[in-house]
Amino acid sequence: MTNTLERVTFRTLPNTNEADLMAAVETSGNWIKAQPGFHYRTLIKTDDGWEDLAFWSDEAAAKAASETFMDAPENVDYIKLIDLNTVVMTYLPQKVSMAGT
């Protein structure tokens, strides 16, 4: 098994309030934390939009969660703020992991 990074890049819809986005991400977090194989998630703001990064035990776990993401009630508010035409999802195998002391 290889740990996997699921990287989802996206832009929000026009006039999306960042506080609303953060609240929706928190609610969505309740769902993702319950998914088998989930390790860690972080949301990063870029010059061009957002990156939602989730670390999983393997690609199969990541893909299994992504298949049910859109239907989970906890994700509805998050999904409503995203321009779905801008979403790009990538799965990347982890090669090296380091932690600070």
Distance separating alpha carbons of residues 52 and 37, to the nearest angstrom = 17
Q: Is the pLDDT of residue 45 over 90?
A: yes
User: What local confidence, expressed as pLDDT, does residue 2 receive?
Assistant: 86
> 57, 65 in Cβ contact below 8 A?
no
Q: Is the pLDDT of residue 46 over 80?
A: yes
Q: Is the pLDDT of residue 1 over 80?
A: no
The fold adopted by the segment(s) 4-93 is Alpha-Beta Plaits (3.30.70)
**HSE (side-chain half, CA atoms, 13 Å) at 4:** 21
> 5, 54 in Cβ contact below 8 A?
yes
Q: For the chain, what is the mean pLDDT?
A: 96
User: What local confidence, expressed as pLDDT, does residue 94 receive?
Assistant: 92
> 91, 63 in Cβ contact below 8 A?
yes
User: What local confidence, expressed as pLDDT, does residue 87 receive?
Assistant: 98
Distance separating alpha carbons of residues 74 and 28, to the nearest angstrom = 5
Question: Do the bridges between strand 4-10 and strand 38-46 make them parallel or antiparallel, or are there none, so unpaired?
Answer: unpaired
Q: What is the pLDDT of residues 58-92, one digit of tens each?
A: 999 999 999 999 999 999 999 999 999 999 999 99
